[in-house]
Amino acid sequence: MKKTFLFSTALAFATLPALAEQTITPYTQHQWISVPAEYFSGDARFTRLPEMPNSPDGSAMVEFQAGTVTDWHSHSYGQYLIVTEGEGRTQEWGKPIQIIKKGDVVWCPPNVKHWHGAGEHSKMSHIAISPNAKENKATWLEKVELAKSDPKAELQKMSQSTPLIDKQLAIVPIAFYSARGELAPLKSALEQGLARGLTVSELQEIFAHQYAYAGFPRALNGLLTLQNLLKERAEKGIGDEQDNPTAKTGPTDYYALGTHTLNTLNGRDNSAILWHFEGIDYALKAHLFGYLFSRDNLSAVNREIVTVSTLAGLETVQSQLRSHLGILRNLGLNEVELKRIIAELSKLNLMAADKANEVLEQVLKG
């Protein structure tokens, strides 16, 4: 009886049709097609996904570069959007723009006028599923008119119209001594900074920002000096204000954001490859002016005070110092306030301060 059962089972499996196998298409093997420029503003591409057996629906994967959006349009049978990467935007006619993020699913009902695409400074990818694909007609309409950024208004938001306070001036010796590797006076400068109201988060961020100008070794030594000081103070029962860590941002195209920030700060178009070398161009735009400037625990003015004090400490980078003194001027610091920074430097090293003052005089002459 048992043998008969086993034989029957084996015979049944033998007579079954061969089972279909999974098909994996690596990302690198997708056949990408650029989107038609007449229906999109900016760069995007798509690849059609394999047809689903016995289903009239069609699907495609679409990748939008930062700032790229579709024109206004509608679908006769509607469309699903599944955001797979980044952060984007969508809007239904007559309603406000909505932010869409990775994992979000959007249903666009039939014949509803809408648009969708990437964020202003973030890429976005989604899978689009079109019900009844062969009959699902897309009707393309007018271009989307998004509000254009006003560089002057954005610079105003980042600027400071009030005099520098002691807390801000306390940044000068910290960045200066750290850039020079003078750790004993740096420790005293850190204690002064804490006394003047700088939080632990702000002090840490000074070194995070400084590494772009003085290098990791100097910045790390500065950070370690701070950490050792905080440990000593804690052992003495001194509690220092920690402040909140920097707020985390969503997926961001830091290169696009950094280019925009740099344009705003120096009032020029920096869209071309800087210094004709993409490695330095990317590091400066994406990491320095993109990522670091997006961190909210130091203002743009305070970051530039870190930079100017660091460059003054190095003494031999007058061209870069001139640029950043100019940025501080763009950020609202007048001659009096800029000379207050020089006055702080003169308390630390007269020769370095004199060199920085010579550069400042050139900036003030325009």
pLDDT computed for residue 17 by the predictor: 52
Instruction: Provide the residue ranges of all domains of the chain, joining segments of one domain with +.
Output: 28-140, 153-246+295-365
Using CA atoms, how far apart are residues 262 and 160, in angstroms rounded to an integer?
Answer: 17
Contact call for residues 194 and 170 (beta carbons, < 8 A) = no
Local confidence band at 151 (pLDDT 50, 70, 90 cut-offs)? confident
Beta bridge partners of 48: 60
CATH number for the segment(s) 153-246+295-365? 1.20.1290.10
Considering only 48-57, 106-115, 321-330, which range has the smallest mean pLDDT? 48-57
Contact call for residues 125 and 86 (beta carbons, < 8 A) = yes
pLDDT computed for residue 351 by the predictor: 98
Taking only the tens place, the pLDDT of each residue in 27-78 is: 999 999 999 999 999 999 999 998 888 899 999 999 999 999 999 999 999 9
Using CA atoms, how far apart are residues 222 and 182, in angstroms rounded to an integer?
Answer: 9
Kindly state the average pLDDT of the residues 184-195: 98
| H/E stretch holding 63 | strand 58-64
Given the candidates 2.60.120.10, 3.20.20.70, 2.40.10.120, 3.30.460.80, the CATH classification of the domain at 28-140 is: 2.60.120.10
pLDDT computed for residue 150 by the predictor: 83
Separation in Å, CA 286 to CA 40, 141, 255:
25, 35, 4
Residue 188 pLDDT > 50:
yes
Taking only the tens place, the pLDDT of each residue in 275-292 is: 999 999 999 999 999 999
pTM of the model: 0.78
Using CA atoms, how far apart are residues 219 and 179, in angstroms rounded to an integer?
Answer: 7
Which is it for strands 33-34 and 40-41: parallel, antiparallel or unpaired? Answer: unpaired
Q: For 4-15, give the DSSP string.
A: HHHHHHHHHHHH
Local confidence band at 6 (pLDDT 50, 70, 90 cut-offs)? very low
Using CA atoms, how far apart are residues 345 and 356, in angstroms rounded to an integer?
Answer: 8
Residue 24 pLDDT > 60:
yes
